[in-house]
Chain A
Amino acid sequence: MIAARLPVALQAAFTVLVTAFLIVPAVMSMLAGVTVQYSRGLSSGLTLEWVVEVWTLYSDTILRSVLIALATLGCTLTIGVPAAYGLQVTGGRIARVIEEIITLPLAIPGLAIALGMIITYGGVGSFRQSSLFILAGHVVFTMPFMIRSVMAVLGVIDLDTLDESAASLGASRWQRFIDVVVPNAIPGILAGSLTVVTLSLGEFNLTWMLHTPLTKTLPVGLADSYASMRLEIASAYTLIFFVLLVPLLAAMQFAARNRATRGRQ
């Protein structure tokens, strides 16, 4: 009996250890953000002073990050969902080639994408200096996640036949897209949206290359604060980042679980 339970116990212990290895640094960092003096530990007392100071110093980067993430979501939804529909319905070699091209940003380092954008569009001053430049980078980087996510769902629902069926009832391509494709692709759209927002909020590599002093985002500001401010402030910044990100991750998990449950039904 004991021998039978031993592997389970070992597995549980290993899981706890790995989880702790991943979570403890994050918890320590967040704790540092509400500790009066990190070098003295929790005995120095708890405070929200650093959080307030971060908000005073960096609130513009936080708001900009949120706005860019939402705008990125808007762009990927507007372009990515119809693109996924088009690629899925068209099929064939050309659709596969286009899909591969769209997916390329997943394989290319963010720094290389940023460099390519700077070389190509860097001369357009007003664009280069605005947050739109970062937005464009985020859209390029996150688009594959939206398209792949929607295509995965459309692939499961036998879209071609549903599309033909709606067409036989007189629906135009646009009506088919709105009435049949979008409602049936909701799980993919939802998962893709959460991935896009999360990635955009946390994106650093590409953004670090694309930003100007006036267009810093949250992760770039975080790097700056780690490099130039006291540890408590950088940690408070991390805490705010987590407060933004964790609900999104939870929502993603919830959506995925819902989808799995519906699939089983």
Chain B
Amino acid sequence: MTANGKGVSLRLENCAKTYPGGIQVLSPMTLEIARGETVVLLGPSGCGKTTTLRIIAGLIQPDHGGRVLFDGVDVTSVPIEKRNVGMVFQSYALFPNMTVAGNIGYGLKIRHVPKAERRKRVDAMMQLVGIDTLHDRRVDQLSGGQRQRVALARAVACQPRVLLLDEPLTALDASLRDRLRTDLNQLFRSLGITTIYVTHDQGEAMALGDRIVVMTKGTIAQVGTPDEIYFRPANRFVAEFIGAANILEGPLQSEVMLLPGGQLHIDGGRTGDTAVAMVRPEAIGIVSPDGASWTGRIQTKIFLGDRLRLTVAEAATSAIVVDASNRLVVQVGDRVGLTVPNGSVRLLTS
């Protein structure tokens, strides 16, 4: 069962937010979201992601000149209760005075959906999110995961034009979060509603987003698909925020970066002053130091089960992290050669 067709396309046009006292929490931003797309707003606390979500919801107004468009129609001045958006809050915000079914059916009741039809849709929603046995359960008798599912069912029951989720998994423990992340992914794909998902967890963003909007200090740092964001970060902030990244700094000579431990080939590099480049830990290979163009000394070694995490000193201006095969035999203090496949090093702007 799908709750809707494909929702609406969404456009934020020059949306900024300044609070009284002149504190600007969001710089003017323009963002296009396609119909049925799942976009994740990702960034650290205070980066403006929740403010953006609340502007889309209609809970706060953007500064003068900012516009929110649903399918090309300006809804900037339409209050939240008339926008037909579904929202899942971090605290779930379930109504304690209602049962599970009462919560899920509340939006339908507001829309005067007949009781029999309401019951049918509530049952369908409960089945969709896997809580069909909790119909008459009180909210305070639910676990965190069950509450999250009720909040989600409630948000989609009214067939919203846009589904908005504000860090819905943050309050859950890690294992439950991983499980629900997979469930959410399947649900978003089956519903096909335009979805905006706010999180500070890059794993969640990678798993759920068709595209990710990485934000920092009230601005958009990069918009892209998960693999674009991961492999081709636009700048140092994105590189360091998404996954583990080794930031290398050194002078460039043609396509070669000169480092304390040797030389590193960089595609597209041009001779100039000090450049900054990024290479992911899993992209670096460990080889024999004999004849290697880039070497270093193993400083620490941690066995993580699926891989060996090494810290290698003397290779760059600061120690670098390498994820090697869990069967690699090396000792702390060993001198090792380092290799990086072509195209795995990315030059960054600061």
Report A60-90 residues with CB < 8 Å from chain B CB: none
How distant is the Cα of A138 from the Cα of B319 in the complex, in angstroms? 75
Task: Assess whether B97 is in contact with A168, with CB atoms less than 8 Å apart.
Answer: no
Q: Which of B82, B140, B164 is the one whose CB lies under 8 Å from A265?
A: B140
Task: Assess whether A171 is in contact with B87, with CB atoms less than 8 Å apart.
Answer: no
Report A167-217 residues with CB < 8 Å from chain B CB: 167-172, 175, 179-180, 183-184
How distant is the Cα of A168 from the Cα of B84 in the complex, in angstroms? 7
Report A102-131 residues with CB < 8 Å from chain B CB: none
B residues contacting the other copy or chain, number (CB 8 A): 26
Residue-by-residue, is A144-178 near B (CB-CB < 8 Å gives 1, otherwise 0)? 00000000000001100110111111111001000
How distant is the Cα of A161 from the Cα of B166 in the complex, in angstroms? 12
Residues of chain B with a CB closer than 8 A to A175's CB: 110
Q: Which of B96, B107, B140 is the one whose CB lies under 8 Å from A169?
A: B107
Task: Assess whether A183 is in contact with B97, with CB atoms less than 8 Å apart.
Answer: yes
Residue-by-residue, is B71-82 near A (CB-CB < 8 Å gives 1, otherwise 0)? 000000001111
Q: Tell yes or no: B6 within 8 A of A by CB.
A: no
Question: Is the contact region of chain A dominated by helix, strand, or loop, or is it mixed?
Answer: helix
Task: Assess whether B97 is in contact with A184, with CB atoms less than 8 Å apart.
Answer: yes
- Cross-chain pairs A/B with CB under 8 angstroms, 13 sampled: A158-B91, A158-B93, A162-B93, A164-B87, A167-B59, A167-B80, A168-B87, A168-B164, A169-B106, A169-B154, A172-B81, A184-B96, A184-B97
**Closest chain B residue to A184 by CB distance?**
B97
How distant is the Cα of A172 from the Cα of B57 in the complex, in angstroms? 15
**Closest chain B residue to A165 by CB distance?**
B93
How distant is the Cα of A4 from the Cα of B59 in the complex, in angstroms? 61
Known: A169-B81, A169-B106. 15 other contacts (CB 8 A): A158-B93, A162-B95, A164-B87, A164-B89, A167-B59, A167-B81, A168-B80, A168-B85, A169-B110, A169-B158, A172-B81, A175-B110, A179-B106, A184-B95, A184-B96
Q: Given contacts A170-B158, A175-B110, A179-B106, is CB(A165)–CB(B87) below 8 Å?
A: yes
Residues of chain A with a CB closer than 8 A to B64's CB: none
A residues contacting the other copy or chain, number (CB 8 A): 19
Q: Which of B57, B84, B96, B106 is the one whose CB lies under 8 Å from A166?
A: B106
**Closest chain B residue to A265 by CB distance?**
B140
Residues of chain A with a CB closer than 8 A to B95's CB: 162, 165-166, 179-180, 183-184
**Closest chain A residue to B87 by CB distance?**
A168
Q: Tell yes or no: B168 within 8 A of A by CB.
A: no
Q: Which of A157, A164, A170, A172 is the one whose CB lies under 8 Å from B96?
A: A157
How distant is the Cα of A158 from the Cα of B139 in the complex, in angstroms? 15
How distant is the Cα of A172 from the Cα of B140 in the complex, in angstroms? 25
**Closest chain B residue to A161 by CB distance?**
B93
How distant is the Cα of A184 from the Cα of B82 in the complex, in angstroms? 24
Task: Assess whether B110 is in contact with A170, with CB atoms less than 8 Å apart.
Answer: yes
How distant is the Cα of A265 from the Cα of B94 in the complex, in angstroms? 17
Residues of chain A with a CB closer than 8 A to B57's CB: 168
